[in-house]
Amino acid sequence: MNETPPTAHGPQSYTLDLRQDPVSLTRALVDIPSPSRDERAIADAVEAALAEVVASRGQPFDAATGSTRIERVGNCVVARTERGLPSRVVLAGHLDTVPIADNLPSAVISEEEDGEQVDKMYGCGTSDMKAGDAVFLHLFAELAQSQDLAHDLTLIMYDCEEIEASANGLGALQAVRPDLLDGDLAILGEPTDGLIEAGCQGTLRLRVHSRGVRSHSARSWLGDNALHRLAPVFEALARYTPRNVDIDGCTYREGLQAVRVLGGVAGNVVPDTAWVDVNFRFAPDRSPHQALQHAVDALGLEPGARFDPESGPGAEPWSIEAGAPVEDLAEDHLPDDGAGTSSPRTGTAWQLTDMSPGALPGLDNPAAAALVRAAGGQVRAKYGWTDVSRFAAAGVAAVNLGPGDPGMAHKRDEFCRVAEIGRVTGFLREYLTSRGSE
């Protein structure tokens, strides 16, 4: 990868070569910093690299190999072959990573694992999911005008997947150009250890607020501790038993967890406000409404204690996302009966801050079934939420398939086994060519 020093007129620019082997391409992508909302440089590099590939392959239209179109929507880059083939496969991957944790630039290190030496590529985004991006980019460049291609291809590289759903670049693309997501099968390059992971679980987040009365801790009887008012929520979480759900041979594991809490003023003050964020990961057999109702019931909350200042009454739950820091909204929107009580059972009020529905496995779809057969029937459930959900909602069969251990995603010591990058590249090449589709 060649780097151009930054200038006074813009950010640093990068050059990618999509024809290089996918391992080297993975390192090149990883070494372009791209935390969520900062994907312009990597999107520019991807767009330029795709344009160079297209320009070198006899564009425009060629009677034998058709044409390839490249479009840019924000920091989302889309490339499509127009070959008139009988089916279309969408290869989709997100360009963003979680915040960098002193884990760039990338490094390849040979380590012993189960008695063997294994090459591992370390760096932010190696597993989630720049290795998957590299596989897709390399295969698109290699196959877009190959006579062996069995399916027309749509390549979508998008931004802001790792943050709130309202910022998701694929969602933004779907809103303005839903036609670009059309296909017979979508493959998301999320880390799956090189196996097919079907469907995905849904996710929602609730912020549970409490209000009390501030006082000096030496005279605590004059106050009402807002942190203590959250105790029933934590007790409910400690008692909660999650479901394991089998759907089409895939086992999904639900979870209800406190993920963030804030409260307290000083070491000698009884706090008058507090809140806790609760995340519910739910199996795809639950609708968003059912999942929300289940979480509210499990936490002992009451529907009447809900407030949604951003969306107002009657909004669909999956469209409700806080547009401002919700801790700043509590003072204006928490009901108060004079004693700080908001809900008869818990003394709290709650707000839905994020909701994304799950996706059923959909393995009975012919296109998905063909991919599973090509993989030797190896398939398992996707525990996390992915954009498979968006494709499924649009009626496009979708699966997760990419190199990388999902358990290493977002970690400071994130890595991807180098051999998996080559293995997934080879498998998908076989599937996408006429030889692999027989």
Q: Which pLDDT tens digit goes with each residue over 137-183?
A: 999 999 998 999 999 999 999 999 998 888 999 999 999 999 999 99
Task: Output 378 or 167, whichever has higher pLDDT.
Answer: 167
3 is catalytic: no
In the chain, count H helices and then E strands. Answer: 11, 21
Please report which helix (H) or strand (E) contains residue 13, including its range: strand 13-15
DSSP track, 319-381: G---SS-GGGTHHHHS---SSS-SSTTTSEEEEEEEEE--B---TTSHHHHHHHHHTTT-EEE
- Region 202-356: CATH code: 3.30.70.360
Architecture of the structural domain at 2-199+359-432? 3-Layer(aba) Sandwich (3.40)
* pLDDT score of 221 more than 60: yes
Model pLDDT, residue 64: 54
Q: Which pLDDT tens digit goes with each residue over 288-303?
A: 999 999 999 999 998 7
- Which of the residues 161, 190, 272, 405 is marked catalytic? 161
Name the token pair of 258: 């406190």
Q: Point out the least confidently predicted range of 191-195, 214-218, 323-327, 340-344.
A: 323-327
* pLDDT score of 6 more than 80: no
pTM of the complete model: 0.81
* pLDDT score of 310 more than 80: no
Name the token pair of 139: 């295969």
d(CA 188, CA 186): 6
96 is catalytic: yes
- Which of the residues 39, 44, 47, 96 is marked catalytic? 96
What average pLDDT does the segment 52-67 reach? 67
Q: Point out the least confidently predicted range of 117-131, 220-234, 254-268, 326-340.
A: 326-340
Q: Per-domain residue ranges for the chain?
A: 2-199+359-432, 202-356
Model pLDDT, residue 266: 96
In 10 A of CB 344, how many CB atoms?
10
